[in-house]
């Protein structure tokens, strides 16, 4: 996640119930964002075997935060490379 064009923090995502790693799996995270600013985010994946193959997602527009408002970011559906080729 970046804030005003500068790396702000990384956030670990947790798997949501349901789905599977072959046909698609949903990951979620929720966080409180206090510093005001314009945020963007992207997702990259890794597991015990290392980083996922291929580029991470493109940067996406996130919330614009003013006066310490709370916002939740993001839900993502990840599809395995094998499933995407079908």
| Per-residue pLDDT at 28 | 81
Domain spans in the chain, listed from the N-terminal domain onward: 2-84
pLDDT at 84 over 70: no
Total length of the chain: 86
Cα 56 from Cα 9, distance rounded (Å): 16
pLDDT tens string 39-48 = 898 888 777 7
Report yes or no: 42 and 58 within 8 Å, Cβ to Cβ: yes
Q: How confident is the model at residue 68 (pLDDT cuts 50, 70, 90)?
A: low
- Residue 20 C-alpha from the chain's centroid: 18
More confident residue, 76 or 3: 3
Nearest to 44, CA basis, from 30, 34, 55: 55
């Amino acid at each position: 996640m970046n804030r005003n064009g500068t790396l702000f923090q990384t956030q670990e995502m947790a798997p949501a119930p349901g789905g599977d790693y072959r046909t698609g799996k949903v990951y979620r995270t929720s966080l409180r964002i206090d510093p005001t600013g314009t945020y963007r985010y992207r997702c990259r994946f890794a597991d015990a075997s290392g980083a996922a193959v291929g580029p991470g997602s493109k940067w996406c527009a996130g919330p614009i935060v003013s006066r310490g408002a709370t916002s939740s970011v993001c839900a993502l559906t990840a599809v395995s490379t094998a499933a995407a080729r079908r």
